[in-house]
Amino acid sequence: MTDRPLSLVLVSTPVGQLGSGRGGGVELTLASLVKGLAQRGHRLHLVAPEGSCSPVIDERVTLHTVPGVDQPSWQHADRNEPMRIPRDAVLPRLWDRALELASDVDALLNFGYDWLPLWLTPHVAPNIFHLVSMGSVSAVMDSAVADLARWDQRRLAFHTRRQSDDFALVDPPDVVGNGFDLSRYELQLITDGPLGWAGRVAPEKGLEDAALVAAQLGETLRVWGLVEDDAYARRVESAVPAGTIEWCGFKPTDELQRELGGCRALLNTPKWNEAYGNVVVEALACGVPVIAYDRGGPGEIIQDGETGWLVAPDDWEALAKATLQASAIDRLACRRWVERCASQEGLAARVEAWIRRGLLPVNGTIS
Ligand code: UDP
């Protein structure tokens, strides 16, 4: 294996410009990887929707933006919905630009959860890799992932094993976890703060269960995140006593981590097979134990009894009981877990290793 720096095109999500929050956890993952891969000496082109900012000012990173209409996000579509590409869509333009840049790079790395780049992969000479950002939410996408896995599964990586279990794969999956710039998260050791919840406010995130827990304990729940679904947010709020939820809005990372770090515990209540769960790790990075359903990525990330408590999915009464045990968790141990398992540097190293393996000829010999 060679140590020559790689030249890569990173293709952002077609759901919202970087910094809007509409891309969810992908935005932070991408920012982290841009910084981590640049630090390792690689040359990067970042292709993103117009209005995006580069996560880092670095001579090794060039931002290219293209205009166009957002792609509808798959997690809010019916499972059997067909692939839709709106008129003037940004998605094909991202790939037009990425393929234009491809002639003198080693690989293209896709962050969008979309059919088009998966379908393109076996049809073009440039090496396209995909960091799959969600579990199974659509039949069209399930087939596209399975088809690509049959062609060459080394082009696919996942955030957690539980996420990858959703797909029909032919080999054991490449699981790269995720990574965070830990210099941006401050450990706070206070143990008498409020309860917190963070994420896109949308049904798959299960805010209603966290609200029930707070109501049962007679506490306020501080909620950070983009309200994607207003009607849903109002339904959740009206199901609990007035004042149970304190809406804190969508905050940039610096503020989010400061406020999150003041919490006694983060409640995490996914109703879907969460691929990873960035907010879980961001809370842990600040020393905040996480009390969660044992489902999807959070169920794999949280070390029961060491960095938080896991309870049976959808059992909000068990979640309330576990929340009373939050102070039994050592906040320093939460931070230490993130330093060991979810640093920006670690993610960049794992992604680089995955891409280098995928660039080898199929029989494993170096040509
Ligand atoms: N987030 C943020 N500000 C907020 C609340 C959330 O920047 O006030 C970010 C958070 O840092 C995380 C993302 O929103 O990266 C949510 O990602 P997660 O993986 O938890 O869920 P997703 O939205 O991808 O399903």
Is the C-beta atom of 225 inside 6 A of ligand 1? yes
7-179+344-358 matches 182-341 in fold: yes
Q: Which two tokens stand for residue 341?
A: 């398992």
In this predicted model, which residue has the larger pLDDT, 3 or 269?
Answer: 269
Please report the pLDDT score of residue 23 as a whole number: 86
Is the C-beta atom of 25 inside 6 A of ligand 1? yes
Alpha-carbon distance 66 to 56, whole Å? 19
Architecture of domain 182-341 in this structure:
3-Layer(aba) Sandwich (3.40)
Alpha-carbon distance 110 to 156, whole Å? 10
Write the CB contacts of 274 (distance below 8 Å, at least 6 apart in sequence): 135, 163, 295, 296, 297, 298
DSSP letter string, 9-37: EEE--SSS-TTSSTTTHHHHHHHHHHHHH
Query: What would the pLDDT profile of 292-330 be if each residue is shown by its tens digit?
Result: 999 999 999 999 999 999 999 999 999 999 999 999 999
Alpha carbon 122 to its chain's center? 26
Q: Which two tokens stand for residue 220?
A: 């306020």
Contact 60, 208 (CB under 8 A): no
Using pLDDT thresholds of 50, 70 and 90, give the confidence band for residue 367.
very low
Please report the pLDDT score of residue 312 as a whole number: 98
Please report the pLDDT score of residue 243 as a whole number: 96
Please report the pLDDT score of residue 75 as a whole number: 83
Please report the pLDDT score of residue 2 as a whole number: 56
Q: Where are the domains of the chain?
A: 7-179+344-358, 182-341
- Nearest residue (by CA) to ligand 1, atom 24, is 25
Query: What would the pLDDT profile of 241-280 be if each residue is shown by its tens digit?
Result: 999 999 999 999 999 999 999 999 999 999 999 999 999 9
* CA 86 / ligand 1 centre spacing (Å): 26
Closest CA to 291 of 213, 217, 216: 213
- Nearest residue (by CA) to ligand 1, atom 1, is 225
DSSP 294: S
* CA 250 / ligand 1 centre spacing (Å): 9
Fold of 7-179+344-358: Rossmann fold (3.40.50)
Ligand 1 atom having least distance to the Cα of 253: 7
Is the C-beta atom of 198 inside 6 A of ligand 1? yes
Please report the pLDDT score of residue 319 as a whole number: 98
